[in-house]
Amino acid sequence: MDSFDYVIVGGGTAGCVLANRLSASPQTRVLVLEAGGPDSGFWIPIPAGFSKLLTNAKYNWRFQTEPEENVHNRTIVVPRGKGLGGSTLINGMIFVRGQPQDYDTWAQLGATGWSFEDVLPYFKKLENFEDGASDLRGQGGPVNVVRVSERPELSEAFIAAAQQAGLPANPDYNGASQEGFGYYQVNQRKGRRWSAADAYLRPAMSRPNLTVQTNAHVTRIDFEGRRAVGVTYKIGNEERTVRARAEVILTAGAVQTPHLLELSGVGQPEVLAAAGIPVRHALPGVGNNYIDHFATRMNWRVKKPITLNEKTRGWRLGMAVAQYYLTRKGILTLGTGLAHGFVKTRPELETPDVQYFFVHASYANAGERKLDRLPGMTIGVTQLRPESRGTIHIKNPDPLTPPAIRPNFLAVRTDQEALIEGMRIARHIIEQPAMDPYRAYEMSPGVEVNTDEEWLDFARRNGQTIYHAIGTCSMGRGPMAVVDERLRVRGLDGLRVVDASIMPTMVSANTMAAVLMIAEKGADLIKADARVAA
């Protein structure tokens, strides 16, 4: 039987970071097991290719929520990256850290060592911000961060309209303040997607002490007593087992990490019993505290043919492709967000509670993103720190059966009010004079929607996740905490979780940057504990 010092389950965002940092010591043998394939594919390096990857089962697990009354019994797609690089292969590449208060809240909830002061050095360590280093920004790290280079006239008008509405401009939401409007920062390098595999895994692949196995679906964690000693996985129909001399590290993400724990008998006894799984270790928090960002998309028809709807068809698309391959510039460098906005929906708030994603394009279905044929523009509206909590739990003992995902969106009145007011403010921005030359009419939800009840019904019928699943193996010290502040699974030895599932509360941001930080800090915790054990 093969054995390694560390067995990393999941070659996604966090797994790539850990593979690099832990294998930096030549004496340490590291194995990465990834259920998907290698990070090769025509659309992966092209930023605009994300729309093709969102519906591609080769690179996307394509999970779905269970029908819930809160959203009129709809099922909602929950994309998760499949392959080396994980969700950084298919996401919109948006790089947002969040607010300092997010991490200070973690520390106050019992996650000692995770305040903003504690984590800022890791944010600076991981990034190469092309605009330069500062007290708050890093340069020279593996993760390339650039501002969106495109400046179409419609996004310029949107930012001007926000200022006409009394909202500030902000060139760096990852700097001293998040509030305001400007252009998104993205993980790209020379016009190409810069995934976690590009940043961390590929530079380490030549190390003889690092082994990366793709198409390896881990089916359970193996224990001796209360200690994790390895994992069992399948490649096709062949079952294999590997030993971990030091630790098994779960980096499978907020959907699959709790699922694997439950498959292995670690979790809430009632859930395990219902699924026919014997209880190895009772840990009631596993799969609970599921949080995600819920967003509505507001669309307007545009008067002029200056949007992506028509620029991505026919001869115009041909010109865009030629421009991209000659210069690495143009509309093919665009991901999910072009211009940003961070706003406070109530004047008494200290920091923004709603985020906007503006793009000069429109589509009927956010899950498919098939662009309209006529010119349009869209504002995605999301509440930054939702209070509604859901669950992700095992359905049956078959490891290939996806878990039941129940987000419980909009269950809390605070979430409803923030989203309603956020949409009203978005409409107010588009009504400003700067948008007059471009705004034809509001398509969705439409000007007939005005009351709180109408706005909320629109959100329930049309809102989608924006793919920021967190919290299902929460870090802290309470009875529902799954991992401690060093990311060790409570009550067990040799088992750690290092991914988005450990976040106790939502960060005011797209979650990729926070996951990279968690993995960087997690690597240091693992190495420090190894030195103590030695």
Q: What are phi and psi of 50, to 5 degrees?
A: -55, -35
CA distance 426 to 162: 9
**Which of 259, 281, 340, 468 does the annotation list as catalytic?**
468
Supply 514's token pair. 């926070």
CA distance 230 to 243: 4
CA distance 320 to 424: 35
72 is catalytic: no
Our measurement of the distance from residue 498's CA atom to the centroid of its chain's CA atoms, rounded to an integer in Å, reads 14
Give just the sign of the alpha carbon dihedral 273, 277, 280, 283: negative
For β-strands 63-64 and 77-78, DSSP reports them as antiparallel
Angle among Cα 291, 228, 393 to the nearest 5 degrees reads 30
Which string of DSSP letters, residue by residue, matches 379-443? EEEEESS----BEEE--SS-TTSPPEEE--TT-SHHHHHHHHHHHHHHHHHHTSGGGTTTEEEEE
Residues 339/151, Cβ–Cβ less than 8 Å: no
Amino acid (one-letter) located at 361? A
What does the H/E/C string look like for 112-123? Answer: CCCCHHHHHHHH
Beta-bridge partner residues of 31: 7, 211
Angle among Cα 244, 19, 43 to the nearest 5 degrees reads 130
Q: Strand, coil or helix: what is 343?
A: strand
CA distance 369 to 458: 19
Q: Which residues contact 531 (CB under 8 A, 6 or more apart)?
A: none
Work out the burial of residue 441: count CB atoms within 10 Å of its CB; fewer than 13 is exposed, 13-18 middle, 19 or more buried: exposed
Q: What are phi and psi of 367, to 5 degrees?
A: -70, -30
Which string of DSSP letters, residue by residue, matches 73-108? TB--EE--B-STTGGGGTS--B-----HHHHHHHHH
Positions annotated as catalytic residues are 468
